[in-house]
Structure 1
Amino acid sequence: MERVKDALASLDHPERDFPALHVAGTNGKGSTCAFVASALQAAGHRVGLYTSPHLVRVNERIRVAGDDISDDVFGQRILEVLERYPSALSDPMTYFEFGTVVALWHFSRERVDVAVLETGLGGRLDATTAANPLVTCITPVSFDHMEYLGHTLREIAGEKAGIFKPHVPVVLARQDPEALDMLLLRAEHLGVPVRLEGRDFEFAVRDTGRLAYQGLAWTLEDLTLSLRGPYQRQNAAVALACLEVLQAQGVAVTPEAARVGLATARWPGRLEEVAARPPVVVDGAHNPAGVAVLLEALRALYAGRPLHLVFGVVADKDRGPMMRALFPLATSVHLTPLDTSRSLPPERYADEARALCSRVVVHGSLEEALAGARGDADATADGLVLCTGSLFLVGAVKRLLARNLGAMQHRQ
């Protein structure tokens, strides 16, 4: 953390120029941040949103008032930071560290009213932890990045709890008991007020099928979520609790603005349908817990449709549980490399895949894999193509489809 703190000090502490919500966890962080930012914007605030990773362009990581930072302004902010902190070149910061400093500097220059900050990997040693939050939040904690965060839920939760600040309130999603025990222990040690899902707030589905929220002070009925999938209900509940606590901390936001925020939030790459005939769905699930909620969503939205899977994974992910959950449900599986040095070559796990699905094809490129899956889906009634396993894959699919659409429009 020292380099980040030194850089921010050289910039006269831009992180102190605005209140912030700081969100950590394993799954659901991005959607929760998107819901909160959308609601705050509906309440009339100028909102800064910092998330990672990006899907198509790095500009997606830094947003103000719903807009990605432009190329020109991004370049300008980078030069401004380097001018004030030249040590970033002589003692190089990591990609994420430098990006975080640039984001905080940009939010200060843009005079945002409030910022929503998503951690990158963990919490305790995450660059975003140098921020000055008004409220913190932990979404569900599960197994991911074990080589950095630990091999038990207790260890991982301890790293996530590193975002806690003394006496700064935290909103906790419903957790595995092992993770919850550690989070509550850390909160008690720091004198952190806790707002816990299931005890202090909850989301419900009424008999009519309508969605409702019962919170700390708000009771909201007939809610609409812009993001698809049953799992988004929990993310929405956590977001609403964060908004309630922000309101109690002095940030002006109303239940009406929260309702609008839930109905209008955008968060690409999560159960997103990016093409039709046959439908192509992309989802960034990249750990066993993420795959579990993805399958729940598929059963709710695409029940009974033959599944043709495009799958790619990075080498440091726990691929076995993901494959065992997904592959037996697929009519065909198309394995693809990813455009990253961390990609696991499909040939390395093709035999594992063939033990789980009768039709497995290894491809040399994503373009081939997607074409193969779409061809198989065309050959089956109501076939569905699902691309998952990594956010790198989701971004690459979106780029490929956008490029193909652009080429087709150019020919026309």
Structure 2
Amino acid sequence: MSAPRTPEEALAFLAQLNPSGIKLGLERVREALEALGHPERQAPVLHVAGTNGKGSTCAFAAAALQAAGHRVGLYTSPHLVRVNERIRVNGEDIPDARFGQRILEVLERYPSAVSEPMTYFEFGTVVALWHFAQERVDVVVLETGLGGRLDATNAAESTVTAVTPISFDHMEYLGHTLGAIAGEKAGIFKPDVPAVVSRQEPEALEAIARRAGEVGAPLRVEGRDFAIEGEANGALTYRGLSWRLSGLSLALRGPYQRQNAAMALACLESLAARGVTVSPEAAREGLATARWPGRLEEVGQSPTVVVDGAHNPAGVQVLLEALKALYSGRRLRLVFGVVADKDRGPMLRALFPLATSVDLTPLDTPRSLAPERYVDEARALCPEVRVHGSLVDALASARSRSGPDDVVLCTGSLFLVGRVKALPERNLGALHQAP
């Protein structure tokens, strides 16, 4: 692979790296960051790990920090439509020209990335941290990619860490018990750095507490140290480490977002205690204005077309709670696709019996599981199942059989969500405009 010379060639260089490649370890990232003069040390860092909810937690926290007047760098993954979504400053995706220029700057200072290519995620992480330093952000919010202990983002020096709910996912890399997975996620804990933790299964919480004790990280646990509760009028109240906030509203939909909001508020309190100025009023504004695409997002009407990134059994369970709360009594038409390395059985058994029809689609990734491989499982759970060769055909099939009050739910993978969001308006119906 030759070194790129223009921003356009630099973007092509990034695209040539294997997006599905996984190589856990911090050595390459640390070496690159040292060559760059340690950009990861230029601003306080909120570092968030977990299986589900970490992206929404990051979105809430970043919105609140921006409302407090900070210039905020946000790094998340995966992207839905364009890789630029992964690197944002004050809510704006990095522009192509700037993105390409940052890649050139990194390669100029660390040419080893050309001769000995890093993984897509490793290199993207380094470019993001370099970009945030050049943009002089006041605070960085980092979402882990996979795991925590050996995730590329763990090369950053955290000011506050957080672990959202943990469930079974990526077991081939993280372990086959909740305790083992939790131990890997809690590998982001640092000595004397506050660790904010959501409610967990006992096995997971035990492993998290053990790790916190080993490294000397002060532990703050949802339900014990902070929580959000519902009020009679439908608003929310937060009881935290020092804050008491009532009358809260959330921009992100679904009952499960309460937990993500509670996590974000506890992280913000912890950041404030460590010198990152953020007021309760800014936190309130952040919860009410945060945006996080692909999670219970309505993208079409008549019928309502909803995309949700649930891609593991725990994610499907919280999705079911949200469907009951938001679309009770409406017929469900399911457009579903899944990657081969996911535990699809529990997902199918939870979702498919609730659907009037299921349209199966392959995904635009080498990891896609062909619908023909699990169509018999699907037909044992839902009487009306069709197999399609493309997402466009699957979505058209679901919409053509739907009445105006039906809900067409596209789920099973973030790859699927991203492809739906990239489709032209004619495939979705009248686009829904978020309030």
The two structures have a TM-score, normalised by structure 2, of 0.92
**For this pair of structures, how many residues does the alignment match?**
405
Q: 1:275 aligns with which of 300, 321, 335?
A: 300
Separation in 2 of the partners of 1:329 and 1:293? 15
The residue number in structure 1 matching 2:263 is: 238
Separation in 2 of the partners of 1:138 and 1:348? 35
Separation in 2 of the partners of 1:193 and 1:83? 40
Structure 2 gaps of 5+ residues are 1-25
Separation in 2 of the partners of 1:322 and 1:215? 34
Separation in 2 of the partners of 1:404 and 1:310? 13
The residue number in structure 1 matching 2:418 is: 395
Matched, 1:175 2:203: no
Separation in 2 of the partners of 1:296 and 1:145? 24
Letter in 2 for 1:387: C
The residue number in structure 2 matching 1:377 is: 402
Separation in 1 of the partners of 2:349 and 2:157? 42
Letter in 2 for 1:324: R
Quote the offset at 1:297 in angstroms: 0.2
Q: CA 1:403–1:392 in structure 2 vs 1: closer, same or farther (change >3 Å)?
A: farther
3-state SS of 1:221 partner:
strand
Separation in 2 of the partners of 1:200 and 1:11? 39
Matched, 1:87 2:112: yes
Matched, 1:70 2:95: yes
Q: CA 1:59–1:399 in structure 2 vs 1: closer, same or farther (change >3 Å)?
A: same
Instruction: Spell out, residue by residue over 1:148-202, the C-alpha distance to the aligned partner (whole angstroms, 9 max, x if none).
Output: 1111000000110111111111000011000000000000111110111000000
Letter in 1 for 2:116: D
3-state SS of 2:323 partner:
helix
The two structures have a TM-score, normalised by structure 1, of 0.97
The residue number in structure 1 matching 2:393 is: 368
Instruction: Spell out, residue by residue over 1:195-214, the C-alpha distance to the aligned partner (whole angstroms, 9 max, x if none).
Output: 11000000000122221100
Quote the offset at 1:405 in angstroms: 7.9
Letter in 2 for 1:242: C
Structure 1 gaps of 5+ residues are none
Q: Which runs of 4+ in 1 moved over 4 A?
A: 402-406
Separation in 2 of the partners of 1:136 and 1:265? 20
Separation in 1 of the partners of 2:372 and 2:269? 49
Instruction: Spell out, residue by residue over 1:286-331, the C-alpha distance to the aligned partner (whole angstroms, 9 max, x if none).
Output: 0000000000000000001110000000000000000000000000
Q: Which moved further from structure 2: 161-170 or 310-319?
A: 161-170
Letter in 2 for 1:172: V
Letter in 1 for 2:387: V
Separation in 2 of the partners of 1:148 and 1:196? 26
Quote the offset at 1:404 in angstroms: 5.3
> RMSD of the alignment, in Å?
1.2
Separation in 2 of the partners of 1:158 and 1:271? 30
The residue number in structure 2 matching 1:29 is: 54
What percentage of residue pairs aligned between the two structures are identical?
75
Letter in 1 for 2:143: E
Quote the offset at 1:369 in angstroms: 0.1
Separation in 1 of the partners of 2:175 and 2:426? 40
Letter in 1 for 2:194: P
Separation in 1 of the partners of 2:134 and 2:158? 18
Tell me if structure 1 keeps the 8 A contact 2:301–2:428. Answer: no
The residue number in structure 2 matching 1:109 is: 134
Letter in 1 for 2:172: E
The residue number in structure 2 matching 1:226 is: 251
